[in-house]
Amino acid sequence: MRLAVGCDLGATNLRVALVAEDGQVLASTREAHGDREPEVVARRIAARCADLFAMAGRTWNDVAGVGVGLAGQIHSATGRVVVGPNLGWRDVHFAALLRDRLGRDVRVVNDLNAAAWGEHRAGTAQGVDDVLVVFLGSGVGAGLILGGALYEGASGLAGEIGHVKVRPGERLCGCGERGCLEAYVGGHHVADRLREAVHEGRAQAVLAAAGGDVNQVGPHALHLAAEHGDPFALDFLEEMAAFLGLAIGNAITLLNPRKLVLGGGMFHGISRLRPLVERAIRKVAGRAQAAELTIDESALGDDAGLVGAALLALP
């Protein structure tokens, strides 16, 4: 059975795994980001690969490919990171950098493209040819499987649902543009918005749920305040759901997928959010498209990007 290395470069962690071609994770490592300079990250990936091989009793001779899923806009043909806001990267030729470090070809893709391929090949979307995968965590991303193939667009930038404009020209996003969906519902931006509301005196229950420490105000405190019925927290979640429903519902109308897969830490950490979002999606999406749509949770969870990146790297 062929093996590949899959890497997931998230906002807070680097994960590296040895994955079999059936999607089984044979060994994996995780570490928090320290220095995020591209050369340092490439060196850490090489070190983690050595750890994996020691754990699994394998060598580079057993590996058929290396794939990296990274949160950002990726030029798929070259593996160039156009912008990776969570890492602070712009115009980084990461595939070439990592290839020089590992001595072998590397495929670098958007992390949600990797997650979509993982769910399609080994997760909840197996056997489904038209799938939209949306993950909500520190940021917001989407991956597209159309006609049974990963759809990346003309220059590899398709699926950037987090940068669909929901309030054009308003709140600044990490990508450098204004009014993006991610600027309103991504985890880091949610924390920023909540702290602003605390300073304005509008989110005292959220502050209380954070133990009175404004630095701890974020999605978890929002969840706790909503569970206690705080009107501000409930209204905030309704607004988040409306933004997500607008962007995803319109994507459903445009693309007509058979299945929508929702995943990511924000859906798991805020129990009230998912049903609100599903309701908002079905309110916005065209009736004919929504009638044939099923909505499921990610089956692979945090491993979706790891598995997908590895499988995309197999020749």
pLDDT at 72: 85
Name the pTM for this structure: 0.92
Is 150 in the same domain as 95? no
pLDDT at 12: 82
Q: Is 22:311 a contact under the CB 8 Å cutoff?
A: no
pLDDT at 276: 98
pLDDT at 71: 86
DSSP, collapsed to helix, strand or coil, labels residue 35 as coil
pLDDT at 85: 82
Query: What are 15-73's pLDDT values in tens digits?
Result: 999 999 999 999 999 999 888 999 999 999 999 999 999 999 999 999 999 999 998 88
pLDDT at 211: 98
Is 49 in the same domain as 109? yes
| Mean pLDDT to the nearest integer, 163-172 | 97
Query: What are 144-153's pLDDT values in tens digits?
Result: 999 999 999 9
pLDDT greater than 90 at residue 155: no
Is 218 in the same domain as 244? yes
Helices 231-255 and 219-227, axial angle in degrees (round to 10): 110
Is 146 in the same domain as 50? no
Nearest CA to 10 among 242, 186, 147, 247?
A: 186
Per the structure, the complete domain to which residue 61 belongs is given by 3-119+302-313
Query: What are 112-138's pLDDT values in tens digits?
Result: 999 999 999 999 999 999 999 999 998
pLDDT greater than 80 at residue 11: no
pLDDT at 275: 98
Is 82 in the same domain as 43? yes
Give residues with Cβ within 8 angstroms of 15, minimum separation 6: 7, 8, 28, 29, 30, 302, 306
The angle subtended at Cα 90 by Cα 84 and Cα 105, nearest 5°, is: 75
Is 275 in the same domain as 176? yes
Indicate which CATH number applies to the domain containing 307: 3.30.420.40
Is 151 in the same domain as 277? yes
Number of domains making up the chain? 2
The angle subtended at Cα 116 by Cα 114 and Cα 121, nearest 5°, is: 95
Nearest CA to 312 among 105, 108, 161?
A: 108
Task: Give backbone dihedrals phi and psi of 99, rounded to 5 degrees, phi first.
Answer: -60, -40
The answer to whether the Cα torsion of 80, 81, 82, 88 is positive or negative is negative
pLDDT at 134: 97
Average pLDDT, the chain: 95
pLDDT greater than 90 at residue 282: yes
Q: Please give the order of strands across the beta sheet that includes 259-263.
A: 149-151, 140-146, 131-136, 259-263, 294-297
Is 155 in the same domain as 87? no
Query: What are 72-86's pLDDT values in tens digits?
Result: 889 888 999 998 888
Is 160 in the same domain as 287? yes
Is 167 in the same domain as 268? yes
- Beta strand pairing call for 80-84 and 73-75: antiparallel
Is 139 in the same domain as 283? yes
Is 115 in the same domain as 156? no
Q: Which residues pair with 145 in a beta bridge?
A: 131, 150
| Mean pLDDT to the nearest integer, 303-311 | 96
